[in-house]
Amino acid sequence: MTQVSPTRSWVDSANGHADFPLQNLPLGVFSPAGQSPRSGVAIGDRIFDLQAALDAGLFDGAAGEAILAMRDGQLNAFFELGRGARVALREQLLNLLREGSPRRDEIQAQGEKLLHLAENCQMHLPAKINDYTDFYVGIEHAQNVGKLFRPDNPLLPNYKYVPIGYHGRASTVRPSGTDVRRPKGQTLPAGQTEPTFGPCARLDYELELGIWIAKGNTLGEPIAIGDAAEHIAGFCLLNDWSARDIQAWEYQPLGPFLSKSFLTSVSPWVVTAEALEPFRRAQPARPEGDPQPLPYLLDKRDQAAGAFDIELEVLLLTEAMREQKLPAHRLTLSNTQYMYWTVAQMVAHHSVNGCQLQAGDLFGSGTLSGPQSGQFGSLLEITEGGKKPIELASGEVRKFLEDGDEIILRARCSREGVVSIGFGECRGKILSAR
């Protein structure tokens, strides 16, 4: 897509907005106060009500069809329509909301009915998630964590061949703002041979990119890597909350289970593949000696522009910091460039055995840590498993998360000569165990 995009919107708050300028136009599902869930687009501090706008005659053709597919308050059927529907909707949205739009007066005349104040709305999951898969493509994280769990072989022999992933729990994915009840479970106290049962004492976050699947495939028919783009709808932030003590005891031999399934948080706005187009980049060169991807994971276009330059940030806000009105403490500043595999490679790998993907499936990238201190995407890495607590301006220290702590994920895409966009926040506050 090489269209010349208009740069400013007549919705004032969009211009210069950190997350949602006219160039972003992310899709989501929201409820205005006391009303039922419906689809919308974030623009500045407002949400443009797609259903109401369609009813007002503001859309036609493929864009209108796209909005009709969102009628049940979920984006699944819209995702299934694929790239064409998204592009058509985006083009009409750009035309309606740009400075100088001929429809401006018509829209403004309807006031809050079409442009809700976002702060008055509740956000929902954008789609019914049929299956959620969590990958492990952050190689720096894999190395950091591998050292803690398996000092002798931090990176297993398959890592540079297989985009490692596992099935996650779909029923407990929730939108930003959902509180995190501290889970209970079995853990093995240090030096003991018998487990005890109680509240998780090593509660952690994991900074991930979320990927929303567009079109599905037929059972038994793999998606070729060159076709993967047609199956990717958009992106979000994902916090793969993790109970490290439960994980250490339960994860052999079949992988993480209850240590993750108590909650997974996502930012509610789907930043589309089209909005992220300007922030694509070539896959970083693989280190000398790393193997070439197998042919089913290799595609020239993907190598040339399959990666993203998205800055990722994690902030911590404790109860005491809120009371003392201290700013949130930055735990992580990382980037999607630390993904060893691209999203297209994940899609090709996931389906190569014939596994059926469906519209609205969610992928997590795996934790995206960088190699340096300050870039680690989990407390497990930052505190080296609790050995090096961090100090906060409030005078508190943290090895892992405590009750009342809030974790805030943010993401920002910037490039010289292009308007920056963001993802909105993914927040979650820890509640004490029941």
Known binding residues for Mg(2+) are 240, 260, 264
Annotated binding site: 134, 136, 150, 206, 208, 240, 247, 251, 260, 264, 367
Is 289 a binding residue for its own copies by CB under 8 A? The answer is no
Work out how close the CB of 425 gets to its own copies at its nearest, in angstroms, rounded to a whole number: 21
Residues near 256 by beta carbon (within 8 Å), at least 6 away in sequence: 166, 242, 247, 250
Beta carbons within 8 Å of 171's beta carbon, 6+ residues apart: none
Q: Which is nearer to its own copies, 179 or 323 (CB)?
A: 179
Q: Which residue, 220 or 374, is less far from its own copies as judged by CB?
A: 220
Distance between CA atoms of residues 25 and 90, nearest Å = 7
Binding part of the chain for its own copies, among 22-30, 50-58, 292-300, 385-393 by CB under 8 A, reads: 292-300
Nearer Cβ to its own copies (286/415):
286
Tell me the CA distances in angstroms from 129 to 85, 91, 103, 174, 361, one per residue in order.
20, 27, 35, 10, 5
Task: Compare residues 21 and 364 and give the one whose CB is closer to its own copies.
Answer: 364
Whether the CB-CB separation of 37 and 126 falls below 8 Å is answered with no
Q: Which segment (27-35, 57-65, 184-192, 327-335) binds its own copies by CB under 8 A?
A: 184-192
Contact between 165 and its own copies by CB under 8 A: the answer reads yes
Does residue 363 bind its own copies (CB under 8 A)? no
* Nearest residue (CB) to its own copies, 150 versus 330: 150
Give the C-alpha separation, 132 to 129, whole Å. 7
Strand partners, 175: 266
Binding status of residue 349 toward its own copies by CB under 8 A: yes
Residue 201, interface with its own copies (CB under 8 A)?
no
Q: Which of 102, 151, 285, 353 binds its own copies (CB under 8 A)?
A: 353
Which residue spans within 350-425 are E strands per DSSP? 362-364, 390-391, 397-398, 406-415, 418-422
Interaction with its own copies in 250-269: which residues (CB under 8 A)? 250-259, 261-263
- Rounded to a whole number of angstroms, the minimum distance from the CB of residue 366 to its own copies is 9
CB of 294 vs its own copies, minimal distance in Å:
5
Q: Which residues are annotated as a binding site for Ca(2+)?
A: 134, 206, 208, 240
Which CB sits closer to its own copies, 309 or 402? Answer: 402
Contact between 192 and its own copies by CB under 8 A: the answer reads no
* Binding track, positions 132-151, relative to its own copies; x by CB under 8 A: ----x---------x--xx-
Q: Is 152 in the site for its own copies (CB under 8 A)?
A: no
Least distance from its own copies to the Cβ atom of residue 397, Å: 26
Owner of token pair 């308007």: 419
Phi-psi sector, 417: left (phi>0), alpha (psi -120 to 50), beta:
left
Contacting its own copies (CB under 8 A), which of 287, 289, 295, 417? Answer: 295
Q: What is the chain's alpha carbon radius of gyration, rounded to the nearest angstrom?
A: 22
Judge whether 141 counts as a catalytic residue: yes
Q: Can residue 174 be called a binding residue for its own copies (CB under 8 A)?
A: yes
Three-class SS state of 325: coil
Q: 3-state DSSP: the chain helix, strand, coil percent, rounded to 5? A: 25, 25, 45
> Which candidate, 388, 387, 416, 405, places its Cα nearest to that of 182?
405
**Cβ partners under 8 Å of residue 8, min gap 6:** 14, 15, 22, 98, 99
Is residue 158 within the footprint of its own copies (CB under 8 A)?
Answer: yes
Cα–Cα distance for residue pair 191/173, rounded to 1 Å: 34
Q: Is 169 in the site for its own copies (CB under 8 A)?
A: yes
Q: How many CA atoms lie within 13 A of 408 on its CB side?
A: 11
Q: Is 230 helix (H, G, I), strand (E, B) or coil?
A: helix
Binders of its own copies among residues 212 to 241 (CB under 8 A) are 219-222
C-beta of 302 vs 313, nearer to its own copies? 302
Residue with tokens 């403004």: 108
Asked if 147 and 376 count as a contact pair (C-beta separation under 8 A), the reply is: no
Three-class DSSP category at 66 = helix
Residue 110 binding its own copies, by CB under 8 A: no
Stretch that binds its own copies, among 106-114, 117-125, 243-251, 384-392 (CB under 8 A): 243-251
Residue numbers at the binding site for its own copies (CB under 8 A): 130-131, 136, 146, 149-150, 156-158, 161-162, 164-172, 174, 181, 183-186, 188, 193-195, 197, 219-222, 243, 246, 249-259, 261-263, 291, 294-296, 349-350, 352-358, 361, 434
Active site residues: 141
